[in-house]
Amino acid sequence: MGLNFRQGEIVAIARASGRVVVDDLAARFGVTVQTIRRDLEVICRAGQLDRVHGGAVARGGVSNIDYAARARMNGAAKAAIGRACAAAIPDNASVILNLGTTTEAVARELLHHRNLTVVTNNMNVANILAYNPGCEVIVAGGALRRSDGGLVGELTVQQFQQFKVDFAVIGVSAVDADGDLLDYDLAEVRVSKAIIAQARRVFLVADASKFARVAPVRLCGLAEVEAVFTDSALPPDLAEKCNGWGVAIRLG
């Protein structure tokens, strides 16, 4: 999909500054905010930027978008995914939640579940579920990644290997057309592999933007998860592959 001159300029500005704001762009180019919003829709469909509330952010290639920007992206979609996934997790269950803003949305929807045991390497998840008196929260130790409150490293892997849980809820940075789950940090991927190995059932939570992104490190294939919780239909070819693998698609 080709971009016009103004849209190309918007992409350049976003890549230089990391983020663009609709009102600022309208003033800069002397057009209406509605025109800029249409421009951003075209640009994001072309895979050049990621839409966030009030504007757009530069899309990462070999490094992820920063945590604060990710936390603002697709909030309504993540909340809906969180509700759908939490509804599939019964009371009296054991769960592992890994890193990511979508798994944090799942944690918020587990606040009223009873008699849960949640193991996590996500400090944000632990802080959210601390407010559920019916949930035992176990934090897997490791090296703290200050950028997003994640715990990673060999110690984290070893601690997850001590558990066998009913459900693992995992988030990723990207899912490609082959159905490969991808991320940016090799240490994080090693932890997620350990999580998957220790769960009886694995749920992937990923909003639609993850199916238009790429990342350099492979976690596993979609065939290794039981269900995908997302906010819109998967690309037809990938949906057909999931059907063949027996992977359920659940829309939030």
Q: What is the pLDDT of residues 119-134, one digit of tens each?
A: 999 999 999 999 999 9
pTM of the predicted model as reported, rounded to 2 decimal places: 0.76
Q: Is residue 66 part of a domain?
A: no
Whether residue 95 is found in the same domain as residue 169: yes
Whether residue 171 is found in the same domain as residue 51: no
Whether residue 96 is found in the same domain as residue 33: no
CA distance 56 to 98: 26
Whether residue 10 is found in the same domain as residue 124: no
Whether residue 183 is found in the same domain as residue 95: yes
Q: What is the CA radius of gyration of the chain?
A: 19
∠ CA 81-85-86 to the nearest 5 degrees? 115
Q: Is residue 114 part of a domain?
A: yes
Whether residue 20 is found in the same domain as residue 96: no
Structural domains counted in the chain? 2
Whether residue 86 is found in the same domain as residue 165: yes
Chain segment 162-209, per-residue pLDDT in tens:
999 999 999 999 899 999 999 988 999 999 999 999 999 999 999 988
Whether residue 169 is found in the same domain as residue 243: yes
CA distance 204 to 19: 28
Q: Domain limits at 79?
A: 72-251
Chain segment 37-53, per-residue pLDDT in tens:
999 999 988 888 888 88
Among 31, 59, 87, where does a domain finish? 59
What pLDDT is stored for residue 16 in this prediction? Answer: 64
Task: Answer whether 43's CB lies under 8 Å from 6's CB.
Answer: no
> Which stretch, 8-12, 30-34, 54-58, 68-72, has highest mean pLDDT?
30-34
Q: Is residue 65 part of a domain?
A: no
Residue 54: left if φ>0, alpha if ψ -120 to 50, beta else—which one?
A: left
Task: Answer whether 74's CB lies under 8 Å from 204's CB.
Answer: no
Whether residue 29 is found in the same domain as residue 145: no
Whether residue 101 is found in the same domain as residue 176: yes
